[in-house]
Amino acid sequence: MALRLSAHMTIMQNAAQRAAKRLLRDFNEVEQLQVSVKGPGDFVSQADLRSEQMLRDDLTKARPGYAFLLEESGAFGSENWAWRWVVDPLDGTSNFLHGIPHWAISIALERRLENGSSEIVAGMVYAPVADEMFWAEKGGGAFVNEHRLRVSARRDLKEAVFATGIPFAAVSPRNRLAFARTLGALMPQVAGVRRFGAAALDMAWTAAGRFDGYWEFGVKPWDVTAGLLIVREAGGYATDPAGGDPRASGDIVAANPHLHAGLCEAAASGLAASEARAS
């Protein structure tokens, strides 16, 4: 039996699938794309921009009063928004531009609360090449297509495989050193560390139990907002290394309940070492 989606999730998935069709055409002709450089190792392609515009148009048509936080265009809409879409139109741009079939579209929906904070009420990460739709709604569980997701049950670091984002040229020295210290501490203790180059999919794969955890420093809200909900609804924990909100700090640790504390400790120690060096 097909799962019944809420109106919001139906809108999100339909928009992502429509944008994905154009992205797949561009991916098949990737060598012909016009590419401009945003910064060292950080590219924006015409595919990014087209995908973002399509998503923005479709989501605005479905919910005209909602605000946006977009990777390429930034924030727009009312500053006093009650609902906001958080959109990464092409997560894994460098993979895409190199013909590596590991990239995704990420859309989350936030609702503002009375105290001024916001909660994530829906999130989806769509990997068009694999045709895998990871999605979750608050209180409703997490799924890939129509299959329920659960984080892994591994308890021992020596059996765990973690994902991370390796810093590139544009990453701050603080984050580069924090990564190096964290990786150095974890490598002797774990079964493996992977770098696939798409934060949204790292979180989706953590929710699916393919990774036992994921950490990264210096992420943006559009990288992780959808994934935060998907991991949590799959039974995992997703915080920053101090237990706070990654959307505010820009640092993320996501893992199953058995490994989250240890991964947070390693990431926090890496950050502390980096900050001590800087001072």
Q: Note the pLDDT of residue 276.
A: 78
CATH code that applies to domain 157-278: 3.40.190.80
Q: Note the pLDDT of residue 68.
A: 98
Residue listed under structure tokens 């580069």: 176
Q: Note the pLDDT of residue 41.
A: 57
CATH code that applies to domain 7-148: 3.30.540.10
**Every domain of the chain and the residues it spans:** 7-148, 157-278
pTM, 2 dp: 0.94
Q: Note the pLDDT of residue 1.
A: 43
Q: pLDDT tens per residue, the chain (279 residues)?
A: 467 899 999 999 999 999 999 999 999 988 777 777 776 556 778 899 999 999 999 999 999 999 999 998 999 999 999 999 999 999 999 999 999 999 999 999 999 999 989 999 999 999 999 999 999 999 999 999 999 999 999 999 999 999 999 887 767 888 888 999 999 999 999 999 999 999 999 999 999 999 999 999 999 999 999 999 999 999 999 999 999 999 999 999 999 999 999 999 999 999 998 887 766
d(CA 80, CA 49) in angstroms, rounded, equals: 26
CA 220 to chain CA mean position, Å: 9
Q: Please count the other Cβ atoms lying within 10 Å of the Cβ belonging to residue 147.
A: 10
Please check whether the two domains, 7-148 and 157-278, share a CATH topology: no
Q: Note the pLDDT of residue 277.
A: 74
